[in-house]
Amino acid sequence: MLRRVGRSRRGAPAFSQIAPIYDQVMASVPYDEWLAYVHDLHGRWGQPRPGQRVLDLACGTGTIALALAAEGASVVGMDLSAGMLAEARAKQRAAGLTGCTWVQADMGRLGLAPGCFDLAVCLFDSLNYLLEPADFAAALRAVAASLVPGGLFMFDLNTPYALEEELFTQEDPRGWYGVPLRWRSRWNPRTRQTAVQMRFWPTSGSIHETHRQRAYETEEVEAMVVAAGLRRLALHEAYTHRDPGPETGRVFWVTTPADRGPGGGDA
């Protein structure tokens, strides 16, 4: 599933045009299952407690952030798109929640205070939108510094297999899953990037955006994790506790600051 971090072909933040209909586009996403998986990994490797401080990086319209706030967490949601954050604020007002703060920021240029979060998450393959390894590494460093001892940073990535096989080519002309759409992806082996031409047909008019994601090999991510001062606690095929296989489309990483205490839980 593509997300809304990064920039479209004309330089506007990705998904900025469809922010008002984003939740319709994502209507088929089982957010409750994603949240349950995050809780499962946090329970296995971290130290969950009431009132924990959470960073939701690339938070979009805030669905996960608001769910965490409803459970009692104090959440900072960061996203590049002002339109997505406007939707998040509107949803917060409608829900009557007070536990979320929204910040517009570029993942490759984060300004985070040290030691202020118990848990950080970056979900829905948002880090794949960082097309330069230097920006990916910078995001890891910033998040690592923002974690308390024993804190966790969990993120998922689309695998090289998923991008190379152009798994994001899809079509829903009748909008059975939310909004009529057509996505066409094309893999570039030279740049290690997939470009996805996205067209949406909401109630009136049409929207076209180009999204790009970069493939990162496990060894490449591992090196950046270590260089950022983190260490890997787990690497799973998404939604499972299994090791990734050659045809795994999405992986979840669980990391913790390398020199500030081990993560809890069992393998």
- Residue 151 has a pLDDT of 97
Residues 207 and 222 in one domain: no
Residues 196 and 230 in one domain: no
Q: Cα–Cα distance between 100 and 113 in angstroms, integer?
A: 17
For residue 267, tell me if it sits in a domain.
Answer: no
Residues 186 and 102 in one domain: no
Model confidence over 137-191: pLDDT tens digits?
999 999 999 999 999 999 999 999 999 998 888 888 888 778 888 999 999 999 9
For residue 48, tell me if it sits in a domain.
Answer: yes
Cα dist from 108 to 79, 122, 128, 238, whole Å = 11, 13, 12, 24
- Residue 260 has a pLDDT of 53
Containing domain of residue 70, as a range? 19-163+218-257
CATH of the domain at 129: 3.40.50.150
- Residue 13 has a pLDDT of 57
- Residue 242 has a pLDDT of 98
For residue 264, tell me if it sits in a domain.
Answer: no
Residues 117 and 193 in one domain: no
Cα dist from 197 to 34, 40, 158, 185, 227, whole Å = 26, 35, 17, 6, 34
Q: What are phi and psi of 170, to 5 degrees?
A: -155, 160
- Residue 5 has a pLDDT of 39
- Residue 1 has a pLDDT of 35
For residue 263, tell me if it sits in a domain.
Answer: no
Residues 181 and 244 in one domain: no
Residues 41 and 152 in one domain: yes
For residue 10, tell me if it sits in a domain.
Answer: no
Provide the domain count of the chain: 2
Calculate the CA 56 to chain-centre distance. Answer: 8
Which of the residues in the chain have pLDDT under 70? 1-14, 260-267
For residue 223, tell me if it sits in a domain.
Answer: yes
Report the 3 state secondary structure along the chain.
CCCCCCECCCCCECCCCCHHHHHHHCCCCCHHHHHHHHHHHHHHHCCCCCCCEEEEECCCCCHHHHHHHHCCCEEEEEECCHHHHHHHHHHHHHHCCCCEEEEECCHHHCCCCCCCEEEEEECCCHHHHCCCHHHHHHHHHHHHHHEEEEEEEEEEEECHHHHHCCCCCEEECCCCCCCCEEEEEEEECCCCEEEEEEEECCCCCCEEEEEEEECCCHHHHHHHHHHCCEEEEEEEECCCCCCCCCCCCEEEEEEEECCCCCCCCCC
For residue 74, tell me if it sits in a domain.
Answer: yes
Q: Cα–Cα distance between 166 and 173 in angstroms, integer?
A: 19
- Residue 137 has a pLDDT of 97
Residue 129 and residue 57 in contact, taking contact as beta carbons nearer than 8 Å: no
